[in-house]
Amino acid sequence: MTPDRLNWRLLVNMNLGFWGVQIGNGLQIADASAIFEALGAEASQLPLLWLGAPLVGLLTQPIVGQMSDRTWVCWGGRWGKRQPYFLGGALLAAIMLVAMPQAANLPQAVAMYWVLQLALNISIAPTRPFVGDLLSPGHRTLGYALQGFCIGLGAICAAGLPWALEHLLHLAPAPEAGIPAVITWAYRVGAAICLGSALWTFWRVDEPPPADGPEPAPVVPEPKSDRPPLAALVEAGHAIAQATATMPPIMRQLAGVQTLTWAGIYCIFLYLPTAIALNILEAPNRQSPSYAQGVEWAGLCIAFYNLICLGVSGLIPALSRRWGRVVTHAACLMMGCGGLISLLGVHSRYPILLSMVGVGIAWASVLSIPYSLLMEELSEGQSGVYMGLFNGFVTLPQIAMSLGFGWVMRTVLQGNRLWALALGGFSLGLAALLMLRIPEPVAEAKAGDRRLATVPKS
């Protein structure tokens, strides 16, 4: 294989495990609120109950990223740097996906949700630098675009699992009390896919040896019994603090863009289904049949914008080459802004799909271009910790909104979820304008980069 030849088998095999983990992530995004409400949670409590996702991500991803930068583990003759964390997180996530729908009460379900978030973040944290390890700079935009494709496909599969199982197994979609059986079975199937796909990636992809030294001999590391148990965490904390003080310029420039972007996206996560049911389709209350129909239609709308994300993800590399990544990302964010704000003028179900086109376009760019821009400024030995820190610009706005947006909803927006979505669109628009202030970086191709020649296991 020539140095500039793209290995499609490698791209598929390395992203298959990521897709499976995203099915688990998509299930908790789509159905965690339904589990909480089935166990007695009030709608006003949901933002605080969702706090586990961004908070655990904020704390976990930098630590796991830094530790994966320093890890080189032998698995029976197979070496791994990122995959020990990826596979371990997927295993724990699969266990929690099976256990969470079995929760007997709300506190138990919330505790399992937090552990599930920990597992998902452990698994997801190494996947961003994994692309940088295995692909050359010229192919990283495509690599991250394919990750965006996998996120969209995982969300579609997760959203469709309950519907498919309901029709295949004839399960009741909504019992009078307790967690629906269809959600329980969807979580079980999602757990099997999550773990199975992670194992596939582990067995089919070889990670290259570290670039800054010779390939180590396959021996068991010497025990370090004299090392304090928390030494690794202390070392990780020191490295994270040092990395925070020496962030690359592009990371500082993207900080505001990411913060505004994810504030807008979090509004979608929190309020899109109920806004469609109550504000657009005008269901009289939560007990009415029209409310259930509205929530079901909202699920289809979520699947639709993820389908748009799938299609646009394949176009992101070509658009970036034509217009530059900065302009492309700004344009996509502005499309998302228009899509959310346009919901204010929608009063029936089918025009909602037109608004979702803009959301899907923005979502595809959000999942790929910022990471591609950042990865070019990072060395292989620091990509994990910086990618983990970069995740802070995703999680911090979500934490702030979980803690304070309830007050905004009560006092400013008067409980109108549709206005909350429009405010999220306004935030995406500000992010687009801020993005245009970033100079377009010039990518330098590295001919003969050995990472291009990495071949998946046959």
The pLDDT value given to residue 178:
64
- Residue pair 329/382 in contact by the 8 Å Cβ criterion: no
Query: Residue 433: phi, psi to the nearest 5?
Result: -65, -40
Return the pLDDT at 231: 60
Q: What is the pLDDT of residues 247-301, one digit of tens each?
A: 788 888 999 999 999 999 988 887 888 788 888 988 887 666 676 677 778 878 8
- The per-residue pLDDT for 238 is 66
**pLDDT tens, position by position, 3-19:** 456 677 888 888 888 89
DSSP letter string, 29-77 = HHHHHHHHHHTT--GGGHHHHTTHHHHHHHHHHHHHHHHHHT--EEETT
Q: pLDDT for 310-353, tens place per residue? A: 889 889 989 998 999 999 999 999 999 999 999 999 988 899 99
- Is the pLDDT higher at 420 or at 128? 420
47-86 pLDDT, tens digit per residue, is 788 888 888 888 887 788 777 777 776 555 556 778 888 8
Would you say the pTM of this structure is higher than 0.75?
Answer: no
Q: φ, ψ for residue 436 (rounded to 5)? A: -65, -10
More confident site: 101 or 406: 101
Cα–Cα distance, 184 to 210 (Å, whole number) = 42
d(CA 121, CA 358): 28
Q: Across all residues in the chain, what is the average pLDDT?
A: 79
pLDDT above 50 for 444: no
H or E, element range at 176: none
Q: Is a pLDDT exceeding 80 seen at residue 424?
A: yes
Give every CB contact of residue 425 below 8 A, 6+ residues apart in sequence.
264, 336, 337, 338, 339, 340, 341
